[in-house]
Amino acid sequence: MNKAPPRPAAQAAHEVRIIGGLWKRSKLPVADRPGLRPTPSRVRETLFNWLGQDLSGWRCLDAFAGTGALGLEAGSRGAAEVTLVEQDPALCKSLQATVQRLKAGSVRVERGDGVAALRQRAGQGLDLVFLDPPFGDGGNETLFGTALRLARLVVADSGLIYLEAPRTWGDDELAQIGLQTHRHGRAGQVHFHLLRPLPPQ
C-alpha cells in the first residue's frame, strides 16, 4: 500500500511572503487564529502597484496588523516609519520575532487595540493607514465605520487609507466621513479600497 504523497500546499497556508523591496521573498508565519486572514499576495501586489513601489520617507500605521504583511511590505519598500498594532499577545510576539529577524529598524510593534491606536494618533498627518479589521460574523459594520472615521483624522490631507472589507464602501457613505475612493478591487469575498481624504470645503 503506497503512502500518500506529502502535501506542501497545506504548509504553505501557514506562511505568506513579502513580495517586493528589501525583504522580498521573506516568509511571514501565519498562526492558526480565528479571524486571521492575511492579505493575499495578488491583492498586495495590486495595492503596491497603486501606491508605487518606492515608499521612501512614508510614515505608516497598520492598525490591525495580524501577520504584519501589509506594514512589513511597506517597510520593505522604504517606509521611514511603520507601526504594527496588534491586540493578540501571541501574534505580537511573532511580529516582534519577525522584525528582529529582518533587522527592520523602521518597524515598531505595539500591543493594543487598533481603534485606540488610531484615536491616539489623531492629527499626526501620517502618509498611509492600513485598515484590515477582522470581518466577524455580522461584518463588524460599527468597527469599520469607527476605524474609517478615526483614520481620516490620522492621515495627512495628501495621505491614503487602505481598507479591506467584506463589502464595497460607496462614495456617498465615504463622503460623510470625509473620504473618497481612489481605487477599488475585489478578490473573492474581499473588497479592497484605496481611499483619499476629500479636499477641504
Architecture of domain 8-197 in this structure = 3-Layer(aba) Sandwich (3.40)
Is residue 50 scored above 50 in pLDDT? Answer: yes
Statement: residue 34 has pLDDT above 80: no
pLDDT of residue 139: 56
Residue 84 · residue 62 · CB < 8 Å: yes
Whether the CB-CB separation of 116 and 86 falls below 8 Å is answered with no
The pLDDT tens digits of the residues spanning 53-67 come to 899 999 999 999 999
Rounded to the nearest integer, the mean pLDDT of the chain is 89
Where do the domains of the chain lie?
8-197
More confident residue, 50 or 140: 50
4 burial type by CB count under 10 A (0-12 exposed, 13-18 middle, 19+ buried): exposed
Half-sphere exposure of 55 (CA within 13 A, CB side): 31
Q: Are 182 and 195 in contact (CB under 8 A)?
A: yes
pLDDT number for residue 127? 98
**Residues 79-117: tens digit of each pLDDT:** 999 999 999 999 999 999 999 999 999 999 999 999 999
**What is the pLDDT, as a whole number, of residue 146?**
96
